Amino acid sequence: MKPNRQPRYFSRQVIDAQRFYLNLRKDIVDDLAVMSGGLEKCSPEYDNARTSFAHPCIEFVIRGSGTVRFGEVTHPLTPGTVFAYGPRLGHRITSAPATPLWKYFVVFTGVKSPKLLERCGMGSGSVGHIAQPERIQAVFDDLISQGLGDHADRAQQCATVLQYLVLKIGELYRPADDIGAKAFATYERVRRHIAERFETITSLSEIAAACEVDEAYICRLFRRFGRESPFQYLLHLRLNRAAALLQTTEWLIQDIAAALRFTDAFNFSRTFRHAFGVSPNEFRRRG
């Protein structure tokens, strides 16, 4: 029996690796499919240059250092760096000889794959940093476990883990460039202000004044880093607080509505049902 051939995109400059292979055909028509993935320990001389790449790929550094070059721009690679590339994008990945790279990767395809990267704010050629790298490492480990698992539905499970991985990257992703980092710091400051005062905030202008940031800029920051508006985030916090009050107190519906700055009990009940699929009274009965 002939041994399984590795995809040609695997570098020969890897001294150790834990990889899995699923469907490597070029004509996959699934919405989303993982083709391969794993963990690679690069050699000190690792220097992998490609003029293009056939499929979307996410790589995540957990040890060592090096660089990745997209076009004319070179980015440093350190533990916690995450980057993405795909079709028609040339790139070059190098490892520092004294501190060789260890990096996870996942190669995927499908009609939904471009939107998947957009959802986490990572277009092809983007480079960022993960604030809590151990959380992403745990998901990659699970992806490898599923890919090497002894079950017939491993491909479906890997596709599901990939979607979770991308959502988690989107949650923890931080831009690598100075401008993006400053913008994210402002976003975090505004977000913390809302999280600490969501029960009493009355308007976006109040938030802008307290944080000394333009209202329109706040909205742009939330679309970029949170993928929702400041109002949606504020409403999410208020409704979760309302759910806690419904389960832990005997407050009347109108009192909860008033405490959380809803215009009236009807507006509160309608909003609660729209968010959770049940009315406040039904939610309280279930508790």
Residue 218 has pLDDT above 80, yes or no: yes
Residue 188's Cα: distance from chain center in Å?
16
Looking at per-residue pLDDT, the higher value among 230 and 13 belongs to 230
Q: Please report the pLDDT score of residue 29 as a whole number.
A: 61
Residue 10 CA to residue 98 CA, distance in Å, equals: 22
| For residues 5-20, average pLDDT | 73
Residue 120 CA to residue 166 CA, distance in Å, equals: 6
CA atoms within 13 A on the CB side of 267: 9
What pLDDT, in 10s, does the model give residues 155-168?
999 999 999 999 89
Residue 12 has pLDDT above 90, yes or no: no
Residue 25 has pLDDT above 70, yes or no: no
Residue 77 CA to residue 142 CA, distance in Å, equals: 23
Question: All domains of the chain, ordered by start, with CATH?
Answer: 14-175 (2.60.120.280), 177-287 (1.10.10.60)
Residue 86 has pLDDT above 60, yes or no: yes
Q: Please report the pLDDT score of residue 10 as a whole number.
A: 56
pLDDT band (50, 70, 90) for residue 174: confident
Looking at per-residue pLDDT, the higher value among 244 and 118 belongs to 244
Looking at per-residue pLDDT, the higher value among 236 and 116 belongs to 236
Q: Please report the pLDDT score of residue 15 as a whole number.
A: 87
Residue 177 has pLDDT above 90, yes or no: no
Q: Is the pTM of this model over 0.75?
A: no
Looking at per-residue pLDDT, the higher value among 132 and 20 belongs to 20
Residue 113 has pLDDT above 70, yes or no: yes
